[in-house]
Structure 1
Amino acid sequence: MKLYKLFVSFLIISLLFIGFFHPIISITQDLGRHFLLGEIILKTLSVPKTNLFSYTYPDFPFVNLHWLSEVLFFVIFKTIGFNGLLIFSTTIVIASFGLMFFKLFKSNNFLALSGGSILYLLILFERTDIRPEIFSFLFLSIFLAILYKYREKYTKWIFLLPFIEILWVNMHIYFIIGNALLFFFLLENIILKRKKLFSKKTKVL
Structure 2
Amino acid sequence: MSTPSSRRASRESPRGREGAALREYFLSALVYAGLLICLVYPYTDYDWGWHYRYGEYLVTHGQILRHDIYSWTMPGFEWVNHSWLYDPLLYFLYNRVSFFGLAIAGAVAGVAVFYLCIRQVPLAFWHKAILAVFFAALSKEALLQGLRTQVVGLLVLALFVDLLHRERQGHRWVYWALPGLFCLWTNLHGSFLLGLIVFGVYVMGDLALLKIRGTAIPRRWFMFAASLL
Is 1:139–2:164 an aligned residue pair? no
Distance (Å, rounded) in 1 between the aligned partners of 2:212 and 2:132: 33
Partner residue, 2:36: 17
**Which structure 1 residue ranges, 5 or more long, are not aligned?**
200-205
Quick check: which has more Rg, 1 or 2?
Answer: 2
* Distance of aligned partners of 1:194 and 1:96 in 2 relative to their CA distance in 1, 3 Å threshold: same
The alpha carbon displacement at 1:101 in A equals 2.0
Identity percentage over the alignment? 21
Equivalent residue in structure 1 for 2:201, among 151, 166, 184: 184
- What SS is found at the alignment partner of 2:194? helix
Distance (Å, rounded) in 2 between the aligned partners of 1:157 and 1:46: 31
* Distance of aligned partners of 1:6 and 1:174 in 2 relative to their CA distance in 1, 3 Å threshold: farther
- Residues 112-191 of structure 1: matches in 2 within 5 Å? 118-126=133-141, 127-129=143-145, 130-191=147-208
Q: Which amino acid is 1:159 matched to?
A: W
* Residues 51-60 or 185-194, more deviating: 51-60
Distance (Å, rounded) in 1 between the aligned partners of 2:118 and 2:27: 12
* Distance of aligned partners of 1:9 and 1:80 in 2 relative to their CA distance in 1, 3 Å threshold: closer
Partner residue, 2:99: 82
Tell me if structure 1 keeps the 8 A contact 2:114–2:135.
no
The alpha carbon displacement at 1:37 in A equals 1.2
Tell me if structure 2 keeps the 8 A contact 1:168–1:175.
yes
Q: Which amino acid is 1:20 matched to?
A: L
Tell me if structure 1 keeps the 8 A contact 2:35–2:132.
no
The alpha carbon displacement at 1:31 in A equals 1.3
Distance (Å, rounded) in 1 between the aligned partners of 2:215 and 2:106: 49
Instruction: Please give the TM-score of this superposition, normalised by the length of structure 1.
Output: 0.76
Equivalent residue in structure 1 for 2:60, among 2, 26, 43: 43
Note the alpha carbon deviations across 1:126-175, whole angstroms, 9 max, x for none: 24212112221221111111112222434422421110110011111111
* Residues 183-192 or 160-169, more deviating: 183-192
Distance (Å, rounded) in 2 between the aligned partners of 1:170 and 1:84: 23
Distance (Å, rounded) in 2 between the aligned partners of 1:178 and 1:18: 29
Tell me if structure 2 keeps the 8 A contact 1:19–1:125.
no
Partner residue, 1:60: 77
Instruction: Please give the TM-score of this superposition, normalised by the length of structure 2.
Output: 0.69
The alpha carbon displacement at 1:71 in A equals 0.5
Name the count of aligned residue pairs.
193
Tell me if structure 2 keeps the 8 A contact 1:5–1:105.
no
Tell me if structure 1 keeps the 8 A contact 2:83–2:188.
yes
